[in-house]
């Protein structure tokens, strides 16, 4: 065992309005860059109108249905007290509350222990494109160079 | 202090269709096996149609009502674009998105810092029985043998 | 690098019935007390009718709308099997399941890597005031005294 270390990084993702953006390859690449071996990866989105989920990476219709479901949980045509930032803002906060902004993913032998059909997604809830920043943290063992 | 170490394990759980399955005893047993003392336990389900929650472990009616609530959030008789895997599949993905696939639980003196009424549950969202795998990670101090 | 350490704490929060209570300052103060530098903060609420979320800390109307949304997801006037603890208890469990009881927040240079508009909130779902306990865990590097 090489002793436990910690590393951090900030990932920037450009979104194109409401939708799922897969970030699994970016996470895998960072783990490789820091020679992560065994430990814990934490993924944390630094916004309140975007969020994170781990979901099926096969049929794109799954993400379409998930977006529809989120729309149903927080419709834009409801009457909200918070109106100042446009009709898609308050629904975005509700969707972010339901899905969450942090994920912990165990890492084994340098790889996230994702299941075969699992991908890590940033969900953009706002109608317009945004630059989103995601804080990454790894704690665990690294492999010798 | 003994220095910080990390350990990992894979737990396999057989489900019997839709329902809550308590995994608190299995988690406690693994922490004991590895002599975990103080640190962080991460529980991660490697599927997109099953998920994790921490909920009341007393009245079984609570879990019945929680299942009913999940059914209401993602009814099988709605029209989904993703249809290929049966009427219970897309609702399962929605339920998994709402409840989440990873949990971080602080560990103190070898025990999870759960409240009196908290149990850790795997939620099976599919109608048929499945074998589910759960990745466990512990980072922290262990007690001397 | 100073080596990886772990620290833990229990935070007690007095609530005043349904509502959001910001705990960001208490978390920041604890990180300062233990000289946390870089690593991971885990926040874990030890109850099943209160939960945690990270949400906008600017317009108070956002929290009002979030409470309304939660009320809509789990109305008190629905028929629940679990009735013994009052009409607000089962809705509280549903709301806690939807929002979650644990959060992982990366820490960098002694500070949580929160976005500008992010605050960490305990959500009380019960109608009456309660004492809530929150377990905190930090794993990572500390700064030299």
How would DSSP label each residue in C83-131?
Answer: -TT-TTHHHHHHHHHHH-SEEEEEEETTEE---TTEEEEEEE-SSS--E
Closest CA to C3 of C108, C145, C144, C136: C144
Q: Which of residues 85-124 of B touch C (CB under 8 A)?
A: 98-100, 103-108, 113-115, 117-118
* Whole-Å CA distances, A72 to C30, C63, C99, C115: 39, 20, 17, 27
For residue C74, the SS3 value is: coil
Q: Give pTM, 2 decimals.
A: 0.97
Q: Positive or negative CA dihedral for B131, A23, C53, A73? A: negative
List the beta bridge partners of residue B41: B105, B138
Task: Tell me what pLDDT residue C1 has.
Answer: 43
Task: For residues A19 and A67, give the distance between their C-alpha atoms in angstroms, rounded to a whole number.
Answer: 7
* Confidence check on the interface: ipTM exceeds 0.90, yes or no: yes
* pLDDT tens-digit readout, B20-57: 999 999 999 999 999 999 999 999 999 999 999 999 99
Q: C60 — phi, psi (to 5°)?
A: -60, -20
* pLDDT tens-digit readout, A89-139: 999 999 999 999 999 999 999 999 999 999 999 999 999 999 999 999 999
* pLDDT tens-digit readout, C14-59: 999 999 999 999 999 999 999 999 999 999 999 999 999 999 999 9
Residue contact B56–C48, C-beta within 8 A: yes
* pLDDT tens-digit readout, B52-70: 999 999 999 999 999 999 9
- pLDDT surpassing 60 at residue C111: yes
* C-beta of residue A6 within 8 angstroms of C-beta of residue C38: yes
Is B58 at the interface with chain A, CB within 8 A? no
> In sequence order, what are the residues at sequence separation of 6 or more whose Cβ sits closer than 8 angstroms to the Cβ of residue A120?
A22, A23, A24, A27, A43, A52, A53, A54, A103, A105, A112, A114
Task: Tell me what pLDDT residue C41 has.
Answer: 98
Task: For residues A31 and B70, give the distance between their C-alpha atoms in angstroms, rounded to a whole number.
Answer: 35
* C-beta of residue B51 within 8 angstroms of C-beta of residue B45: yes
* Whole-Å CA distances, B12 to A54, A111, A113, C21: 20, 20, 14, 38
Q: State the count of interchain CB pairs (< 8 A) between B and C.
A: 97
* pLDDT tens-digit readout, B81-124: 999 999 999 999 999 999 999 999 999 999 999 999 999 999 99
Residue contact C64–A81, C-beta within 8 A: yes
- Compute the average pLDDT of residues B61-80: 97
- pLDDT surpassing 60 at residue B1: no
Task: Tell me what pLDDT residue A144 has.
Answer: 84
| Subunits close to B (at least 3 CB pairs below 8 A) | A, C
Closest CA to B83 of A10, A65, C21: A65
Residue contact B39–C6, C-beta within 8 A: yes
């Amino acid at each position: 065992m090489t002793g436990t270390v910690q590393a951090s990084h900030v990932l920037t993702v450009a979104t194109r309005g409401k939708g799922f953006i897969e970030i699994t390859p970016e996470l895998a690449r960072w783990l490789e860059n820091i020679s992560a071996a065994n430990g814990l990866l934490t993924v944390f989105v630094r916004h309140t109108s975007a969020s994170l989920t781990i979901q099926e990476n096969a049929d794109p219709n799954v993400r379409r249905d998930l977006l529809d479901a989120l729309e149903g949980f927080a419709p834009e045509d409801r009457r909200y007290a918070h109106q100042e930032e446009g009709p898609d803002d308050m629904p975005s906060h509700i969707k972010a509350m339901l899905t969450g902004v942090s994920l912990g993913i165990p890492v084994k032998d340098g790889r996230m222990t994702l299941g075969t059909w699992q991908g890590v997604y940033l969900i953009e809830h706002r109608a317009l494109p945004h630059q989103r920043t995601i804080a990454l943290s790894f704690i665990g063992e690294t492999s010798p160079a």
